[in-house]
Each structure stands twice: as structure tokens, then as C-alpha cells.
Structure 1
């Protein structure tokens, strides 16, 4: 257990004998920490005894700094005599027994069907992974809970690769500190400057000499227009990208193990051509709802405001 002087209240993490990272929620008990994203202020939790659906029945975040970002209502039923196997329902194994089966659903048609054949246990709000969720016929509710927190607000600090920490020990006042993550030794920096700068300087001299010799050649031949075209470069048109506040305002989402996407067929980032994987951060363009890896689309939008897929400009943006 970490000392009281280290960390923010309510974020006490510790390890058990099996080297699992755990956290205690005041009114809900102990959970395993599967992942933390400090930039988006998200945390993924599960049950150390591998029966999260049972824990969901007593879930209470009233005295906790965490809350469910996207909640979906699931209704649980106890089916003692109903043969669910013919309907391809997914049972909750850790809550079922030899003579009864527990199933959960969020679809109205399945709930009405099960209510006429099974006993109602409860309807619970489940913190799901994705905000664009569709009704589910049945689920074993084993996916990690995705929770978020509002205080302390360290997301912007962490996203800029800075360190968010307590200003004074045993207090709740925080500060954002610059961290030199990639500082090279001075001899290494000098070697890079000499190794890169000298060849570039020699190339520039050679290129300028080539231009000068071409200009002199055209002068001797009496082609003033050709001389002018060699010296004066054509004016190019530049396309300005979006500013950082506009890019930060576009929705950002963390993929969960369930891997639910707004458009399931669009499972490849159109910029880097890589398939999406769980725990990756995606950002979508609000006007057309096309999704990409957050780091890919951020770099794109800084240079070009158009959507890489549909090439539509944003309807509104900061000047």
C-alpha cells in the first residue's frame, strides 16, 4: 500500500500476492486495475475473483472519485427450467449452477421473451467501453468496466508529455511540470550536429553553385526570360491546417476489449493503414464521423483541415 503522502485521495493502488494491481472503491470493494490512461483520465477495472456481473449488482460510486463514462442498462434473469441453448444465449457462467442459468440482456425483445420464462434478478447500469453501443441480445458482462474521473484534472498536462503531481505533500493542489524525456548527453548532441550539419552545408553550397552556373550559361546564350524563370520561383499555394483547440475539441475514444466501433466495417485507420486494436486511442471527425488513430489524425489536421476519407472541410473551426 502506498503511503498517505503519495498520490491523490481515492487513487490508492497496491499489489496483491499474485502481482495484480488493485484499488479499493469505498462502497464497492476491491477491483483489479487492468489499464490507466492519464491523458484521457480513464481507468479500466475488473473483478479479481473473475465474476464481474455479481459485483455489478452492488456497484456504488457515491463516495468514489470515479464514475461510469457510458452506462448501458442490462437486465439479469434466473432461468431454472428454460432451455436457453436453442436460442444461442450467452450465459453468465460464474453466476449459473447445475440446475439454473443466469443470462443478461439489454435488448427489449429479448427482455420481454426472458421475462415470460425466467425470474427477474435485477436491472443494473453497466459502465461499458464505447459510447456508440447497440442493444445486446445477451452478454456475459465480463468486459472491463471503463470509468473516468474529474479531479484532479491532469489530462491536458499528461497529453503534452508533462508530469502532473502534487505541489505540496499531503495536499490536493496539483501542478504541471516539464520533464526532459529525451535529453542526450552534450557530446552526443555535438556529434549529431556535426554529422548532419556538415553534409547539409556542403550540399547547399553545391546546389547554389549549380544554379549560378546555369544562370551564367543562359546569360551567355541570350535568354533573359529563361534566366528569370530559373531565379524566380513560382508562387505556391499553402493549405493551413487546424489549430490545437479545434483538434482537441474533436471526440477521442479508447477502444475496449469488446471492440465496438461506430461503423464496424471501418476497422482500419485510413492514414497508417493499420487495424485498430484494444486500448488504442481513436479520434473522430464530428461532421462525417470518420475515425482514425488519434496520433495519426492529429498530425494530419495540423497540416490539412480536410477529412482524409471524404475530403470534406470542417463546417466550423477556430480562425
Structure 2
């Protein structure tokens, strides 16, 4: 059952609606709602009059209301009260109550007042603006000098304020009001997506009942447990995938200006018995070098990747060759390797230093020397 956008469930009922067997009609008339000609849901309380229902939270047992004419401050001036409108009460953990003074001030002097005016109290073609102040801040007995000629409309108006309000933020007096009800207790049924109602037509005992039109839901604790059980593994999978992609990116995207971190992979694969003392700089510089030209043509096209850093050779990069085996590498990579181990990383041969020879692969001169594997 619904009225406009408001879903009406137990303990609420809609006046004029036909409920089977009367099992959905809670005996307290305060829970009877009506639907006006604008399809708005109206709550009528004995000492508060008609209120517009904006929202009902059945799980938290909260009903959100406002003035049907969209001017709640005017209702406060008419002594709107919920103190005796049981079963609906203010949640003391949410609201505090303050005495306000409502005043009417000429518009030509309101520049000195820093608080916002109450727009819904304005009269058509009126030159007055309406404001409210804390009663403890003004001397209402001297109305002639009160705020430079403002007229007191009401000297003591009880208004609910959200208790999390931080001064100097002035609340909007036309904001929706939240009321709670503590009986009957149906919040647990709503949390499990079940209906609340009389468990037996002959008694007034209230409990959760089956809804033939809906599948029984899960309790909040079980929902939280499932969320954690599914969410944590999913998060770990995302983190693992991100690390894998990051690692792959680092391997295949090596900057030319620094030595790759993964050169140590080859070091770990070697047995200590195969290692020889490294060479010094002048000895390493005697090994031949080859400069890759603009075309990117290689001495041996099938070997287009440096075995040390696993990065593809690019134009203008300098390669160095091991003379005995003709294996070539990035000059930067093999230089660092030879400083630690005087062997070829691929075949483990111990090279002898040769004379320095730098050639360009794209150089057409017949005198250049190309060292290929």
C-alpha cells in the first residue's frame, strides 16, 4: 500500500484502505495516515495537527515530517508540540530544544542583522522581514529598542535544534523534523526484509511474518558478514593484479639512463663455482662496442632483446660484444655485469680484453666491424 512516494507498512495504515481481516490495522489511531488530493501522505496527531510525511524508515523506526504548507516556523509560532503526541517523540540523542524570540524588522535596517530571515513568513508586498533569536541573547522587556525598532512577534517559541549544530551556523527552521516511535518494535523485521504484523489474529502479539510476495531477506549481521567475506578476497585479488601489472611494466619499460633493477636475477642464478673476479673499467672498455643506427637494424635480427635487462634494443643505443663468443648486450648492462663477474652471462666463457672498436650498424663504410652472435 502506498500514497505518492511513501510506502505504507505496518504499523501504519491508510485510511479508507481495505485490509484483509484487519490484521494490518494497529489499534493506535496515531498510525493511521491519509492521502490528500495531491497524493501526499498526511500524519494527523491530536495535539499537533496535520503534518506532511516526507519519509518513513521502518528499520530505524523514524518518520520524517514537515508542514504541508512548507512553513514550519509558522507552526512553531502556533505552539506546535510533540511532547504529548505519543507514540511519536523526538530522539533526545539528535535534538536539543531552545527558546527563540521571533521578531519583525523593517527591511531598511536589516543590513545590521547577520542572521538569515525566515522567508516563508513574508507577507506579499510587505517591507518587513522576520527573524528569530535565542531568547537568552535579547532583552525582550524593552521592545522599543530591541534591534533598532524590531517588533516582537513571540517572546518564547520552543524550537528543536539538531544537537550537532556548530555555532555560528544558524539552522534552517524549515528543515524536516525526524520523530521516532518505540512501539511496536518492528525494526528487526524490516532489517531482514520481512513484514511486521500480528502473529495471531486472536492476540495483539506483534512479530515478523512471511510475505508471500517477497523472498525472505537476510539479517543485517549476516549481510555484514557476507560483505566482509566477499569484499576482502576481492580486494586482495585487485591488489595482487595491480602488483603483477606493475612488475610487468617495470620489466618491459627500462629507462636508458640507469641500470635496471632486475640485473640481479642473473647473479642469483649463477653457482659460486662459475664466478670469476670482475674486471676493472679500462679492461672492460677494450671490449668492442656497436652503435645501433636510426633504422634499428641489429647484427643478428633474431636477437633483439638484451639478455640482462630483457628490454628490446632501440635506435641510438650502444651495445658491447664479448669477443670470444660474440654475444652482445646493452653496454650499460654488460659493463656493470663485468665489474662483478669476468664471464659472459649467457655461455659463462671468460673473455679476454680486445682493442676498442666502436662501429655503427647503419654505417655503410666497409672498414667498420660488426660483432654478431
Structure 2 length-normalised TM: 0.44
User: Structure 1 residues 7, 75: closer, same or farther in 2, change over 3 A?
Assistant: same
SS at match of 1:80: strand
Residues 88-108 of structure 1: per-residue CA shift (max 9 Å, x gap): 421112223424322124596
Q: How big is each residue's C-alpha offset from its partner over 1:259-282, in whole Å with a ceiling of 9 and x where there is no partner?
A: xxxxxxxxxxxxxxxxxxxxxxxx
1:105-141 residue CA offsets vs partner (Å, 9 max, x unmatched): 4596xx449984142624444345x552224554441
* Mapping for residues 146-157 of structure 1, pairs under 5 Å: 146-157=178-189
Partner in structure 2 of residue 47 of structure 1: 67
TM superposition shift of 1:299: 4.0
What is residue 68 of structure 1 aligned with on the other side? 90
Rg larger in 1 or in 2? 2
Question: Who is 2:50 aligned against?
Answer: 30
Structure 1: how far apart are the matches of 2:36 and 2:208?
31
Q: Rate the CA distance shift 1:18–1:94 in 2: closer, same or farther, 3 A.
A: same
Is the counterpart of residue 90 in structure 1 residue 116 in structure 2? yes
* Counterpart for residue 308 of structure 1: none
In structure 2, distance between residues paired with 1:170 and 1:15: 30
Contact 2:100–2:159, Cα closer than 8 Å, also in 1: no
Q: Report what 2:104 is aligned to.
A: 79
Q: 2:132: which partner in 1? A: 104
CA gap 1:89/1:39 in 2 versus in 1, 3 angstroms: same
* Contact kept? 1:34, 1:46, Cα under 8 Å: yes
2:71–2:120 CA contact under 8 A, matched in 1: yes
SS at 1:94's partner residue?
helix
Cα displacement string for residues 217-248 of structure 1 (whole angstroms, at most 9, x for unaligned residues) = xxxxxxxxxxxxxxxxxxxxxxxxxxx99x79
C-alpha distance after superposition, 1:156-206 (max 9, x if no partner): 2211222111235597431212446348xxxxxxxxxxxxxxxxxxxxxxx
What is the match of residue 177 of structure 1? 209
SS at structure 1 position matched to 2:188: helix
CA RMSD in angstroms, aligned pairs only: 3.8
Deviation track 1:43-83 (CA, whole Å, cap 9, x = no partner) reads 00011111111112322221431011133325132133472
Query: Match for 2:164 among 132, 135, 138?
Result: 132
- In structure 2, runs of 5+ residues without a counterpart are 1-14, 233-373
* Counterpart Cα distance in 2 of 1:300 and 1:126: 42
Q: Residue 190 of structure 2 corresponds to which residue in structure 1?
A: 158
Q: What are structure 1's unaligned runs of at least 5 residues?
A: 184-243, 249-294, 305-319
Name the CA shift for 1:63/1:113 in 2 (closer, same or farther; >3 Å): closer
The one of the two structures with greater contact order (alpha-carbon pairs below 8 A, sep at least 6) is 1
From the superposition, tell whether residues 162 and 106 of structure 1 become closer, same or farther in structure 2 (CA, over 3 Å): farther
Does the CA contact (< 8 Å) of 1:104 and 1:138 recur in 2?
no
1-structure distance, mates of 2:191, 2:64: 18
The answer to whether the 8 A contact 2:103-2:132 is kept is no
Residues 103 and 140 in structure 1, CA contact (< 8 A), matched pair in contact too: no
Q: Distance in 2 between matches of 1:39 and 1:14?
A: 22
Contact 2:48 2:85 in 1 (8 A): no
Contact persistence 1:51–1:142 (CA under 8 A): yes
Partner residue, 1:144: 176
Of stretches 37-46 and 85-94 in structure 1, the one that deviates more from structure 2 is 85-94
- TM-score (structure 1 length as normaliser): 0.50
* Aligned pairs (5 A) from 1:148-297: 148-168=180-200, 172-179=204-211, 181-182=214-215
- Where 1:85 maps in the other structure, the secondary structure is helix
